[in-house]
Structure formats: structure tokens, C-alpha cells
Amino acid sequence: MRHAPIDPSLFADNRRRLTALVPRQSLAIVHAADVLPTNGDGTLRLHPAGDLFWLSGIEQEESVLLLAPDAIEPSHREMLFVRQPNEHLATWEGEKLTKEKARAISGIDTIRWLSDLPDVLHGLMCECEAVFLNANEHERASLAVPQRDLRMARELIHDYPLHDYRRLAPLLRRLRAVKSPAEVDLLRQAIDITDVGLRRVLATLKPGVMEYELEAELAAEFIRRRATFGYEPIIASGGHACCLHYNVNDDVCRDGDLVLIDVGACYANYNADLTRTYPVSGRFTSRQRAVYEAVLRVLKSSIARATVGTTPRDWKRAAQLEMNDELLRLGLLSKDDIAKDSATEPACKKYFMHGLGHSLGLGVHDIAPINGPFEPGWVITVEPGIYIPEEGIGIRLENDILITDRGPIDLCSHVPIEPDEIERML
């Protein structure tokens, strides 16, 4: 656990929210994420499964959560199964959760060793009517390798073919989109850590510095504050900024160029996601400033339009129409180009070709209903950009906002973004 302890009431509330949605005599099963191999006998560091963490706070491999709110035996209504600590595991892998520690983290009274799972699960399968099985149903997910949830699903369907099997993912998609105040606080911490890292970059940025040196400054600040990178950081100078997912970070930042930094700290498994674009020399050229201010205007308008009841599709379309006008003023689009604009082929697509934002939380691209509408408690990114390869200019600005009944709250309002402020700091 690389973060301060979290009040287990957060996870208990999440479990109550989920079990309130399932019918009587249901069983829900949620697994930890797999430990992924690299080369030889190497493995990647475990990234906790978002669903299991959201429901229990548990970050240990091979853990399994069973929720059976109508189980005959009260102690079976919430059960967490974890690996049993032993001397061998302690020597080779380090400390594993004791029952007491697992209980303190999760707020779940019944903690069992993983070896007990088959017998306990069989008993609950004999009691229940509907079985809610989980899967990674993210619209951008790669499903080439079946995860632990799916492997168990295939075993259960083979062994108990007459049960009523249902999908857990749609319920979690709805629930996890709405962040509790405790979750928003954790997101604010991730954003604050990212802010400190970006300020450190501003103190380091100058012509001749390497992109990877800026990445190192971010890494040092994140690690010092018990955080990691939420995703591979993009440190893209000059024309590299026109490659949306550039992360080689191996070129020099040259005088007169811009450097686009898309980065987010991950704290307690909650992710920030910010983008800033800085002038390497400390001053924007007149052309760079004009493009920058155009992107900033679309950012601010898009934040203001992120209101309860708005669908992501309509929200994005409004930004595209505004971006058309900005590109016309910049001389990048003509009136004829705009006359051909449509929702399927927006005129701005040549220079602003990506989405406007996404849900944020335990996932950088967190799960949420695909077309909303926005609800109070959603946390989303807002990230317009303009990319002009022929001029070597790529500018993206991105803030994270909280949707509320009183309007959107910019959680990144303290992170420097105004061009005059950035020039002063540089």
C-alpha cells in the first residue's frame, strides 16, 4: 500500500450501493487483476483491479470478493478471500495481508484464505439464483488475453450450467462514474501532486534540456509524494506534439519550440490527467500565443458547458463548432471548409481530431455510461487541442473537472495555465 490509509467506510458504502441494485438471491464475484509477465521470469508491478479496489480497498494479487446479500449464513454475505501468508512468501515476495489487516482495510468482517474458496463458493452457488460475473467491458479495452474474472466465469458456466448468469460490469459502470466526496479528495491529491511536478518542470525548462530530463523531474516529485505515473507521460517538444500518443521522450527541447506535457500522478490508485504546453525559450511567439489562446478559449467554454444532463456527444459537438470558428480566425480553415461541416465529418477534424474528454478515477479512462448524460459526481477531463504539423505546433490543454448541480468545478484551477502566468514563471 503506497499511500495513506483510506477510511474503509468508503468501500463499505460502495458495496452497499452495488448490492442494492442486484435482485434477491444473487451472488456477485469480483477478482484481483493478474500479475503480468515480461521476459523470462520477470513480471510487471501489479496494478490493482479497479472494481475490486472500489469495493474493498484490497490491492493484493489473487484476492476474490464474494457478495451474497441474501445468504442464509450472515457471515457469508460479504466475504474476502486472500492468500495465506507463510514463510516462503514472506522471504520471496514480502509481507502478505493477514486476516486482521484485510479486515481493517476493507471493513469486511469475514476474511477467508484462498484455499477455502472452492467449498464456500459451491455452497453459495447452491443457494443463489442469479450469478453476477465481472468482465472488462471498457470500450477501448483489448480482450486478447482473458482475465481472471473471465476464466472463473467459464469454469462456473461449465460446472453450473443451469444458473442465471448476468453481467456485473454495467452496474459498476453506472456506480463508479459517480464519485463520492472521499474519492474526489483522493483525485484532488493526485492533481496536487501533478501540479507540484509541473511547477518543478517549469523551473527546469530551457533550450537544450532533454525531454527525458523533464520526465525525470516529474518522476522524482511523484515518487517523493508516494505516487506513480498514472500512464506513460507524454513529453513532446516541437513537431512531436502533433503525435497524440508520443512517449519516446528522447529528443532535445529547442529554442523557439513548444513542449507539450501530458501527465498525471496516480495516488491511492486514483489518477490525475493534465496537459500543459510551454514555450521552451520562456516566451510564446505571436503565432504560438494565438493558437494557445484559441485552445484555452475552447477549454474554458467546454468546462462551462459540462453541466448535469448534457450528453458527452452533444458536449463534444459544441466544442467542435466553437473550434471551427477558432480555426477560421487562425487562417487554418476557410468558410467553404466550415460550410461542409457535419457531425460525422467536422471541419475541425484536420487540426482537432480527438475526443474532448473522458471519465476519470480509478482508471485514467475510467468507466462511465458511454453517452451519459452527465450526473452530479462525475469527474471528467476536458482536453481540446490544435495540431499543425506543417508549422511544428501542437497545443493541448487539459483540466479535470467535477460535475455538480451548481455547475462544473475545475479541480485544476490552481495549476498555471494562463500564458502570461506561464511566461512569468519561466
For residue 240, the 8-state DSSP code is G
- Any idea where the domains of the chain sit in the sequence? 9-175, 181-425
Helix (H, G, I), strand (E, B) or coil at 332: coil
If we measure between CA atoms, which residue out of 106, 83, 103, 110 comes closest to residue 94? 83
- How much is the pLDDT for 51? 97
Could you tell me if 182 and 192 are in contact, meaning their C-beta atoms sit under 8 angstroms apart? no
Could you tell me if 290 and 419 are in contact, meaning their C-beta atoms sit under 8 angstroms apart? no
Fold equal for 9-175 and 181-425: no
If we measure between CA atoms, which residue out of 260, 244, 266 comes closest to residue 355? 244
Q: How far apart are CA 300 and CA 322, in angstroms?
A: 11
Give the fold, CATH level 3, of 181-425: Creatine Amidinohydrolase (3.90.230)
- How much is the pLDDT for 243? 98
Positions in the chain short of pLDDT 50? none
If we measure between CA atoms, which residue out of 219, 214, 295 comes closest to residue 251? 214
Average pLDDT, the chain: 96
The CATH number given to 9-175 is 3.40.350.10
* Residues composing the chain: 426
Q: How far apart are CA 12 and CA 55, in angstroms?
A: 7
Helix (H, G, I), strand (E, B) or coil at 180: coil
pTM of the entire predicted model: 0.96
Quote the crossing angle between the two packed helices 312-329 and 286-305, to the nearest 10°: 160
- How much is the pLDDT for 41? 86
Quote the longest CA-to-CA distance of the chain: 73
- How much is the pLDDT for 141? 80
